[in-house]
């Protein structure tokens, strides 16, 4: 067992991923069948179940120049001390040393932090990181879905190949079996109640997998994730629309967003309770971007109201306010601008290299992370902003405290991450505690 706070590498000295081969030996098949115990059963646990660790990756660029995401990661490390281990990816051992020094300069306890040399291009561990399944006999395994940069690139692009390998590197670090899937799918596009029910978004999964039917996708989710039922929602938030679709009302661009990940708008608080974002009628009338989200959220409400859990019972649906539309200006030199400027836009939009563009942040109160005794939440109000936004912050946090009793709800400023197309939940991936044998 490696000591807490250690630095390790996911690659062997030759730079190749280490593989484990399992050999089936000879013998009488009938005798083997009679003697062998039943196979271990694996499932993806609900996020509100106990964790051993949270995995995250050190950032490689700034979404908006001068607005670093590093302070948010430091805040998360500080908040999780004494609650859950932090497994942090660095590019190499040299960067790992610099990160360790940075943490100590911030006077943050780091005994619960291990740093690993695993090459990565971005911080979205929810999507390209390991998808841990827990076995009923104490085992863990990792599911390796395909990855294509949320539909922005082909699966064979250098960026896609780099990110798609992260989960296998982590599995190798831990000595875990990897289950491969041909389905292209990201962790933020799936939400689980821990009893066999999964929420998924049609617009996301179909865009990634145009040759797949709903039935084929559901069967693959059952095979890989141990679920028994999928509830399909139609679309996500307007501010999460794929950037290459084109501009939103008012000439606004999204920020390398996912096309509708469920963790931006619908989350399980317990096996029977679903939190669903809400845009009010007044907000719909006064904000054309919110108007799009309003229609999509009400369709989700209709579907969830008609849905049942694994036992055929209706869900309790709790509505949570959606933040106001929050805007920023991006220019050359901003990481987001430099990526989206050369994209081919479906609506015919073009961005010149010297343009200044208006973007909308992927802001959400539901992109929170639940872990042991703690909910890492997002807040938005700052001095000078409308009091209505501060009231929304307070209402959303009050709801989270109500539906997660016994856990501290800690609001953090995640705008630096929101301006890259995600939030706190998107940059973390939980590793569950192993089942008691």
Strands 177-184 and 140-146: parallel
Q: What pLDDT is recorded for position 89? A: 98
Mean of the pLDDT values across residues 162-173? 97
Q: What pLDDT is recorded for position 435? A: 80
Residue indicated by tokens 């569950």: 432
Q: What pLDDT is recorded for position 35? A: 57
Cα separation, 136 vs 264, whole angstroms: 30
SS3 337: helix
Q: Could you report the per-residue pLDDT of 16-59, keeping only the tens digit for each?
A: 322 222 233 334 434 434 555 678 999 999 999 999 999 999 99
Q: What pLDDT is recorded for position 27? A: 41
Least Cα distance to 420 among 58, 60, 64, 143 occurs for 64
Q: Using an 8 Å Cβ cutoff, are 54 and 86 in contact?
A: yes
Model confidence at 11: pLDDT above 50: no
Model confidence at 214: pLDDT above 90: yes
CA distances from 298 to 190, 204, 222, 237, 290 (A): 19, 18, 28, 11, 12
SS3 286: helix
Question: Tokens representing 250?
Answer: 């008012």
Give the list of residues 6+ apart from residue 392 with CB closer than 8 angstroms, or none: 321, 323, 324, 365, 380, 381
Q: What pLDDT is recorded for position 37? A: 65
Q: What pLDDT is recorded for position 436? A: 66
Tell me the average pLDDT of the chain: 92
Alpha carbon dihedral 427, 258, 46, 125, in 10-degree steps, equals: -30
Q: Could you report the per-residue pLDDT of 223-272, keeping only the tens digit for each?
A: 999 999 999 999 999 999 999 999 999 999 999 999 999 999 999 999 99
Q: What pLDDT is recorded for position 437? A: 58
Q: Could you report the per-residue pLDDT of 258-276, keeping only the tens digit for each?
A: 999 999 999 999 999 999 9
Mean of the pLDDT values across residues 68-75? 98
**Residue 1 — pLDDT band, cuts 50, 70, 90?**
very low
Cα separation, 174 vs 196, whole angstroms: 26
Least Cα distance to 369 among 273, 263, 258 occurs for 263
Kind plus residue range of the DSSP H or E element containing 208 = helix 202-208
Q: What pLDDT is recorded for position 34? A: 55
Cα separation, 391 vs 335, whole angstroms: 32
Cα separation, 424 vs 420, whole angstroms: 11
Extended beta strands in 193-321, E state:
197-201, 229-233, 266-270, 273-278, 316-321
Q: What pLDDT is recorded for position 345? A: 98
Q: In DSSP terms, which residues pair with 184 in a beta bridge?
A: 146
Kind plus residue range of the DSSP H or E element containing 280 = none
**Residue 314 — pLDDT band, cuts 50, 70, 90?**
very high
Alpha carbon dihedral 104, 106, 111, 117, in 10-degree steps, equals: -70
Strand order in the sheet with 273-278: 266-270, 273-278, 316-321
Q: Could you report the per-residue pLDDT of 372-429, keeping only the tens digit for each?
A: 999 999 999 999 999 999 999 999 999 999 999 999 999 999 999 999 999 999 999 9
Give the list of residues 6+ apart from residue 165 with CB closer than 8 angstroms, or none: 17, 119
The percentage of the chain sitting over the pLDDT mark of 70, rounded to a whole number, equals 91
Q: Using an 8 Å Cβ cutoff, are 88 and 110 in contact?
A: no
Model confidence at 70: pLDDT above 60: yes
Q: What pLDDT is recorded for position 38? A: 74
Residue indicated by tokens 């700034």: 62
Q: What pLDDT is recorded for position 39? A: 86
Question: Tokens representing 426?
Answer: 């998107």
């Amino acid at each position: 067992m490696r000591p807490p706070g250690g630095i390790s590498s996911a690659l062997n000295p030759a730079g190749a991923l280490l593989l484990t081969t399992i050999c089936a030996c000879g013998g009488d098949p009938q005798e083997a069948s009679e003697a062998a115990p039943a196979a271990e059963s694996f499932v993806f646990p609900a996020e509100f179940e106990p964790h051993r660790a949270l995995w995250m990756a050190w950032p490689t660029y700034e979404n908006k120049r001068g607005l670093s995401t590093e302070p948010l990661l430091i805040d998360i490390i500080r908040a999780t001390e004494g609650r859950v281990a932090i497994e942090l990816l660095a590019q190499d051992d040299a960067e790992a040393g610099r990160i360790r020094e940075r943490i100590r300069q911030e006077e943050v306890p780091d005994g619960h932090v291990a740093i690993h040399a695993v090459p990565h291009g971005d911080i979205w561990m929810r999507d390209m990181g390991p998808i841990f399944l827990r076995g009923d006999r104490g085992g863990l395994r990792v599911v390796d879905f395909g990855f294509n940069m949320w539909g922005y690139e082909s699966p064979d692009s250098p960026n896609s190949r780099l990110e798609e390998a992260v989960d296998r590197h982590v599995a190798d670090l831990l000595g875990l079996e990897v289950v491969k899937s041909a389905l292209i799918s990201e962790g933020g596009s799936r939400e689980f109640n821990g009893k066999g029910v999964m929420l998924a978004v049609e617009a996301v999964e179909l865009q990634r997998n145009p040759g797949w039917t709903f039935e084929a996708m559901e069967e693959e989710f059952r095979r890989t994730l141990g679920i028994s039922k999928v509830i399909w929602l139609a679309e996500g938030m307007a501010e999460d629309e794929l950037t290459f679709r084109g501009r939103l009302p008012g000439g606004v661009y999204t920020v390398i967003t996912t096309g509708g990940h469920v963790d931006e708008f619908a989350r399980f608080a317990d096996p029977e309770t679903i939190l669903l974002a809400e845009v009010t009628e007044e907000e719909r009338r006064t904000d054309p971007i919110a108007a799009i989200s309003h229609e999509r959220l009400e369709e989700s409400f209709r579907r969830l109201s008609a849905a049942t859990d694994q036992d055929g019972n209706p869900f309790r649906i709790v509505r949570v306010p959606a933040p106001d539309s929050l805007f920023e200006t991006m220019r050359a030199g901003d990481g987001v601008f430099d990526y989206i400027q050369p994209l081919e836009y479906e609506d015919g939009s073009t961005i010149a290299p010297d343009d200044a563009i208006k973007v909308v942040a992927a802001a959400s109160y539901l992109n929170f992370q639940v872990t042991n005794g703690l909910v890492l939440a997002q807040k938005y109000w700052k001095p000078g902003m409308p009091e209505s936004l501060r009231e929304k912050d307070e209402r959303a946090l009050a709801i989270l405290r109500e539906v997660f009793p016994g856990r501290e709800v800690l609001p953090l400023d995640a705008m630096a991450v929101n301006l890259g197309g995600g939030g706190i939940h998107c940059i973390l991936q939980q590793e569950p505690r192993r089942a008691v044998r």
